Chain A
Amino acid sequence: EIVLTQSPGTLSLSPGERATLSCRASQSVRSSYLAWYQQKPGQAPRLLIYGASSRATGIPDRFSGSGSGTDFTLTISRLEPEDFAVYYCQHYGSSPTFGQGTKVEIK
């Protein structure tokens, strides 16, 4: 099983700032099997990025994903008020696993 470790646990930023979230895997992950999700309180997760860098349908271009091997990054170029949420990375190959999440909160 691939263990995903996200950092930081909490990111305190202001609207308009750039957010950089990290996801590190315990072993090499095929990029095509790495996704990012956004979850707001009381809501189901929403797919943002798949294949490490492809945006899902309807996702604004301020969200971007990058990385390969064991290190992956989700970048939000300019935070909008609706972007403050918890973000999870996921390996969706055999035996899907999720990271523990990064909370992006308003500073």
Chain B
Amino acid sequence: EVQLVESGGGLVQPGGSLRLSCAASGFTFSSYSMNWVRQAPGKGLEWVSYISSSSSTIYYADSVKGRFTISRDNAKNSLYLQMNSLRDEDTAVYYCVLANWGSPFDYWGQGTLVTVSS
């Protein structure tokens, strides 16, 4: 059974940094691309970033480009999102999602809440 478990969320001040992690199990992590998707409180879904299985291809939404960095460690079956220069509008639940580029988002984690506030 595919399991994706996010961690690392919390309260951070504007301009601060946070690193999210996603622990994957139940599938061959090194063979699949991964994504981060976020959802602001009471709002819709926004795709944030994508990383290919070998980390050779990475994409970001314009809203986070230059501030967020996606990475993965296939030996540890883990996905990461380093978030810098955080803004109020980055407040959201962040989901780790298993999906190749050009494929539907099959599997989602339960999400971790990031709150940016002074």
Q: Which residues of A does B touch, CB under 8 Å?
A: 33, 35, 37, 43-47, 50-51, 56, 88, 90, 92-101
Task: Give the dominant DSSP class at B's interface.
Answer: loop
Q: Inter-chain contact count A-B, CB under 8 Å? A: 50
| Residues of B in contact, count (CB < 8 Å) | 18
B104 within 8 A of A: yes
Q: Are A92 and B45 in contact (CB under 8 A)?
A: no
Q: Are B104 and A35 in contact (CB under 8 A)?
A: yes
* Complex Cα gap A90–B109 (Å): 18
Asked if A100 meets B44 with Cβ closer than 8 Å, knowing A44-B95, A44-B111, A45-B108, the reply is: yes
Q: Are A92 and B104 in contact (CB under 8 A)?
A: yes
Nearest opposing residue in chain B for A99, CB measure: B44
Additional 13 contacts, C-beta under 8 A, given A92-B104, A94-B102: A33-B102, A35-B105, A44-B111, A46-B108, A47-B106, A88-B45, A90-B45, A90-B105, A95-B47, A95-B61, A98-B44, A98-B45, A101-B44
